[in-house]
Amino acid sequence: MRGLRSPLWGVLLMTVLLVVYIVLVGQRAVAFLSTGIPVGVGIGVALVVIAVIGALLLVLELRFGLRITRLGARLEREGGAPDDVVDVRPSGRPARAAADELFPAYRAAVEAAPDDWRAWYRLGVVYDTAGDRKRARAAMRTALTHAR
């Protein structure tokens, strides 16, 4: 039943929910702007700004995810995807200690070839497995930069 657990479904659900939220905020913004009362207009303008920022962030995140997915598929086609097996907890999440043990080898690969997007991508995967999302995203951004 892999299909229902696919990350794509989560992304689609969150995207739909965020779009609905942005539309509702936009409707409220129009309602406040149409009051003509200075406070209402101010709130309406603030809501428009929030809706625009939300839409922009949504587009940027979807773009980032799509580019990373393409890069991962490219690495997979080349046969360079990490093939290390990490123990998982009963919840299905990777055991952090096992992921931490993999980290030095992937970090050394990046230090040996700092311009290799493949090494950066693999390091990002290990960071993500270890639960360090901030560093994982930074490594993936670096991979995208070097892949161009």
Chain centroid to Cα 125, Å, comes to 12
Please report the pLDDT score of residue 89 as a whole number: 74
Question: Is the separation of the CB atoms in 90 and 66 below 8 Å?
Answer: no
Q: Is the pLDDT of residue 4 over 60?
A: no
Q: For residues 126 and 135, give the distance between their C-alpha atoms in angstroms, rounded to a whole number.
A: 10
CATH of domain 96-147: 1.25.40.10
Domain boundaries, the chain: 2-78, 96-147
Q: For residues 60 and 69, give the distance between their C-alpha atoms in angstroms, rounded to a whole number.
A: 14
Q: Which residue has the higher pLDDT, 20 or 95?
A: 20
The mean per-residue pLDDT over the stretch 94-98 comes to: 73
Name the token pair of 92.
């299905």
For 93, which DSSP code? P
Question: Is the separation of the CB atoms in 130 and 100 below 8 Å?
Answer: yes
Chain centroid to Cα 97, Å, comes to 23
Q: Is the pLDDT of residue 46 over 60?
A: yes
